[in-house]
């Protein structure tokens, strides 16, 4: 087993070393990455300095791994077997290395690994492993991140993240199990909050159960690859800039919610059975939005050309604020995917349905069976198509705003996305209609810019 194998580290993070504490697992990762098959002959003080653990934690973690069979004693040169350095000056050293059984387990797991996660370099940085290929790389210091558990949690999240630094299905129970025995769900929750406060996480979206949209969903975590602590870790440079969004995309969602409020208020104050003006306006808007799709992409008409009244998906929602926040987050996520994969079409065309994305929208926002049961079979696709059109507008706005920031023409930027610029991430900020956009920028090879 070679030194500097980050794939093995990711394997240990996601499935390796069951039954160990988080400190022992961190210690084992450090040993595997820095020493591989070679014996470890350093003093505990040297290990403390290299691994970033206190001397006491180094000793406890090493002894735990020796007891559980992950490590075995390896006598130092000139040291009698079983003496662990007794009878020598100063603190006695104890040589050790990976056990044969555990090396076989790692090698078997490595042969089953299909592909390297996109963010392996972030895992490396979070654990302070330095750069690959260095015999004994120095520890990368991340100024605000102290202690083993938060480093391990951040590394575990990066090992699970997709191409836009998003961890879907971020179950606290799953994360606690990944870190090691004795890590509680409450501890995970507190550490996620802390990582968010320190800027390592862009968004921490809790799981919700919406009445109709989106149904029941697990929590989602969006990581921040543009954090300043990664700047010396060999991570590809990223730009980050805040943008004020007006007159497109989310305005449709915001306006729809306000109209739903008016309908519900009028129904409560004046239950006369008359069609409220807000409902008429919503039906007209629905026709306009869905009418922007081609005939082949447009949802089939209901019997008698009745309107879908898509606004009903949002009415009577007990968790309205959380549901709306989740929908907003997902629409930005879909828009980022469009920017990365279809930038020229987004700039130059009316919305064109991409099968992969419309299926995602349906599965993630419109799969609650109550939509079909209450409003009919065609309703979920029609609602997904409505989300899709607004998402297309958000993507176009992102390209427009980014081109303005970079002082480029929209069409030029769209042509260069995928070569010079890639990996767009769009995160809502605290202010209304304001978002933060980050992306990899190969034109700034040595530093990140905050624009």
Burial zone of 422 (CB within 10 Å; 0-12 exposed, 13-18 middle, 19+ buried): middle
Asked if pLDDT for residue 405 goes beyond 80, the answer is yes
pLDDT at 436: 82
Instruction: Specify the DSSP element, H or E, that contains 365.
Output: helix 355-365
Q: Say how far apart CA 205 and CA 197 lie, in whole Å.
A: 14
- Does the domain formed by 126-235 have CATH 3.20.20.70? no
Radius of gyration of the chain (CA): 27
- CATH number for the 1-116 domain, one of 2.60.40.10, 3.30.479.10, 3.40.50.300, 1.10.10.10? 1.10.10.10
Same fold, 1-116 and 126-235: yes
Tokens standing for residue 83: 């003496």
Query: What is the model's pTM?
Result: 0.81
More confident residue, 416 or 235: 416
Give the pLDDT mean for 295-304: 84
Quick one: pLDDT band at residue 269, thresholds 50, 70, 90?
low
Mean pLDDT of 100-113: 77
Closest CA to 244 of 395, 396, 428, 387: 428
pLDDT at 315 over 80: yes
- Residue-wise pLDDT for 331-352, tens only, equals 999 999 999 999 999 999 999 9
**Would you state the structure tokens that stand for residue 153, as one six-digit string?**
């949690």
Tens-place pLDDT, residues 29-45: 999 999 998 999 999 99
Share of residues in the chain with pLDDT > 90 (%): 49
The helix or strand, by DSSP H or E, that contains position 179, with its residue range, turns out to be helix 172-179
pLDDT of residue 141: 56
Domain ranges of the chain: 1-116, 126-235, 243-450
d(C-alpha 198, C-alpha 192), whole Å: 10
- Asked if residue 103 lies in contact with residue 37, where contact means CB atoms within 8 angstroms, the answer is yes
pLDDT tens-place string over residues 136-159: 444 445 666 778 999 999 999 999
Average pLDDT of span 5-20: 85
pLDDT of 87 reads 44
Contact 413, 421 (CB under 8 A): yes
Q: Is residue 77 scored above 80 in pLDDT?
A: no
**Mean pLDDT, residues 309-315:** 94
Strand partners, 201: 223
Q: How far is 147 from 157, CA to CA, in rounded Å?
A: 16
Mean pLDDT of 420-437: 77
Q: How far is CA 32 from the centre of its chain?
A: 26
Reported as a single tens digit per residue, the pLDDT across 211-223 is 999 988 888 999 9
H or E element in which residue 291 lies: helix 277-291
Ramachandran region, residue 247 (left: φ > 0; alpha: ψ -120 to 50; beta: rest): left
> Residue 267's pLDDT band (boundaries 50, 70, 90)?
confident
């Amino acid at each position: 087993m070679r030194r500097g194998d980050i794939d093995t580290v990711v394997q240990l993070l996601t499935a390796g070393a069951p039954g160990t504490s988080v400190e022992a697992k961190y210690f084992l990762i450090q040993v595997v990455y820095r020493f591989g098959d070679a014996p470890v002959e350093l003093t505990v003080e040297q290990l403390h300095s290299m691994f970033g653990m206190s001397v006491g934690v180094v000793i406890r973690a090493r002894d735990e791994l020796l007891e559980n069979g992950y490590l075995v004693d390896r006598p130092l040169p000139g040291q009698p077997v079983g003496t662990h350095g007794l009878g020598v000056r100063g603190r006695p050293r104890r040589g050790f290395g990976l056990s044969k059984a555990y090396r076989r387990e790692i090698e078997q797991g490595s042969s089953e690994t299909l592909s390297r996660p996109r963010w392996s370099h972030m895992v490396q940085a979070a654990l302070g492993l330095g750069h690959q290929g260095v015999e004994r790389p120095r520890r990368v210091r991340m100024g605000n991140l102290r202690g083993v558990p938060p480093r391990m949690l951040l590394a575990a999240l990066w090992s699970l993240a997709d191409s836009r630094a998003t961890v879907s299905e971020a179950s606290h129970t799953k994360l606690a199990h990944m870190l090691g025995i004795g890590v509680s769900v409450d501890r995970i929750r507190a550490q996620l909050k802390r990582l968010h406060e320190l800027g390592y996480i862009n968004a921490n979206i809790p799981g919700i159960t919406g009445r109709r949209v989106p149904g029941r969903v697990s929590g989602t975590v969006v990581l921040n690859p543009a954090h300043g602590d990664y700047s010396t870790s060999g991570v590809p440079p990223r730009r980050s800039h805040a943008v004020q969004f007006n007159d497109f995309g989310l305005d449709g969602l915001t306006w729809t919610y306000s109209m739903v409020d008016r309908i519900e208020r009028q129904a409560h104050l004046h239950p006369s059975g008359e069609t409220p003006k807000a409902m008429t306006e919503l039906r007209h808007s629905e026709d306009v939005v869905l009418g922007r799709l081609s005939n082949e992409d447009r949802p089939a008409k209901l019997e008698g050309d009745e309107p879908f009244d898509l606004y009903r998906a949002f009415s009577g929602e007990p968790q309205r604020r959380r549901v709306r926040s989740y929908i907003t987050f997902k629409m930005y996520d879909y828009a980022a995917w469009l920017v990365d994969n279809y930038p020229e079409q987004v700039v130059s065309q009316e919305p064109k349905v991409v099968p992969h994305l419309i299926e995602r929208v349906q599965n993630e926002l419109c799969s609650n069976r109550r939509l079909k049961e209450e409003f009919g079979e065609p309703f979920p696709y029609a609602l997904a198509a409505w989300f899709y059109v607004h998402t297309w507008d958000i993507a176009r706005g992102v390209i427009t705003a980014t081109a303005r920031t970079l002082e480029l023409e929209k069409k030029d930027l769209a042509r260069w996305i995928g070569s010079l610029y890639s990996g767009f991430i769009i995160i809502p900020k605290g202010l209304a209609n304001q978002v933060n956009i980050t992306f990899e920028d190969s034109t700034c090879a040595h530093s990140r810019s905050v624009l």
